[in-house]
Amino acid sequence: MEEGKESYKQIFKSTSIVGGSQIINIIIGIVRTKIIAILLGPGGVGIAGIFQTIVDLVRNATGFGINFSGVKNVAENNTDPQKVARTILILRRWEFGTGLVGTLVIIILCRVFSIYSFGNSSYTISIAVMSVILVINAVSAGQLAILQGLRRIGEMAKATLLGSVLGTIVSLPLFYWLGTAGIIPAMILTALGSLLISWIFARKIITENVNITLPQTFTEGLGMAKLGFFIVVNGFVATASMYVIRSLIRTHLGIDSVGYFQSVWTISTLYISILLNAMLADYFPRLSMIQNDNTASNKLINEQLEMTLLVGAPMFIIMLTFASLAIHILYTSSFTSAIPVLKWQMMASFFTLISWPLGVLYLSKNKGWYAIISETLRQGVYIAFVFACWKYWGFNVLGIGFLVANFVNVIFVIFSVRRISSFKFTSINIKYIFFLGSALLLVLYSSLFLKGIFQYAVNGIVLLLISAFCLYRLDKLLDIKSLATRRLSKKNK
């Protein structure tokens, strides 16, 4: 039993370290987003969202997922200093090279991106200038990947947090001074800030001296690129889907509505990333180290899933309950029409809580094709649903379709992981999924169809009961009371 608790405690420890920095990061993001919404309005938020989508699209297409596969390679070779040194050098060179390729692609296609994204070529120069972000972000991501692969989670969390702080400090004055014209300079300076902070932490890593020629770098890096290929396609499919969706919204409703969608997408993705990125930091390296042991892998997946559900469900109920307040705090009253979409997306994210711990197994076992099929299925269902049902639900179909797509995806993930590793849910996780899922459905119904005091009464009661239940179960797994007592005793000495 104690051995089992140690695994849960390890999950909780890494989650707390990264999650704590993520929460602070989100608070910083709240301030930044609020100010941007006030200074730029829905149209400016929409333009910034399209620019960021272009960056993500090209990065996913040209980055070969090197930063993600690099984490796996560094983690697997962690006990061999020579192999770690070679992996780190190869990773850094590949990140720089793929970043340059991405920069060239944006420069070559800048006019095409402008015409397709905005309906004219007026943003061609801006998009070309923005291309430098690709190489900056690539190098920065590689340095964070090294920290993560070596399981230096605290340093990785600090680097991410300080990079966000520095980016906020340099970007907000530009928005105030230049308005929408400050979007590109702010994006570039933010990327440079993250690069600087990641370099400060990564340079502390001492490795053995290794000599690797450029041909050797290319050849040995192909292993990372092979795994990264699946991540590239996966990320490209997701980003391309968002690109199509944003273009569809602009065609039907205009650039302001792109801003509304960008607002809820930012809230929902950032909110769940607090949890998932925090857990992924240590979970992926641990799962990679035991990839050949199905019994151990399945045990760790179930432990991770249990922690994810217990921590994540109350978070989603809070967000569903206070979605309207969140929109008004983070943006302005002009974004009110986006509130129903946010509620549907938060419900959809519950299925991500289930599929995510299972889906990480694809890459740890080098079964990347399953990840591609999974993401293609999810995005294909989403786009098809939006196109087919837009005339029935209008803007709200963006949230409803996301829920449908995530539900279809979780079914596929469950059956595919069972085929790969004979995975089975523990009985406790099956109970959690149905119990917590039902609670979230009740809160979603209340949030959409009840008004005023009745809505907040129902949601408040459910929130209190679910929070108390999850805290009780977490205490059983982690001995929270004993941990708090020991820390309090140390402070009193």
pLDDT of residue 432: 94
pLDDT of residue 430: 94
| Alpha helices (runs of H) in 179-293, residue ranges in sequence order | 183-202, 214-253, 255-289
pLDDT of residue 489: 57
pLDDT of residue 464: 93
* Three-state secondary-structure class, residue 157: helix
pLDDT of residue 331: 66
Q: Work out the angle at residue 166's Cα, subtended by the Cα atoms of residues 65 and 162, and round it to the nearest 5 degrees.
A: 65
The C-alpha atoms of residue 80 and residue 77 are separated, in whole angstroms, by: 5
Q: What six digits make up the tokens of 38?
A: 């006030």
pLDDT of residue 173: 83
pLDDT of residue 409: 94
pLDDT of residue 11: 58
- For 390-400, how does the pLDDT look when each residue is reduced to its tens digit (9 = 90+)? 888 888 888 89
Residues 6 or more apart in contact with residue 221 via CB below 8 angstroms: 66, 90, 91, 93, 94
The C-alpha atoms of residue 491 and residue 219 are separated, in whole angstroms, by: 54
Q: Nearest to residue 299, comparing CAs of 462, 417, 126, 424?
A: 424
Q: Work out the angle at residue 300's Cα, subtended by the Cα atoms of residues 296 and 301, and round it to the nearest 5 degrees.
A: 115
The C-alpha atoms of residue 340 and residue 458 are separated, in whole angstroms, by: 18
Residues of the chain with pLDDT under 50: 1-3
Give 371-430 as a DSSP string: HHHHHHHHHHHHHHHHHHHHHHHGGGHHHHHHHHHHHHHHHHHHHHHHHHH-----HHHH
Is residue 420 within 8 Å of residue 296, measured between CB atoms? no
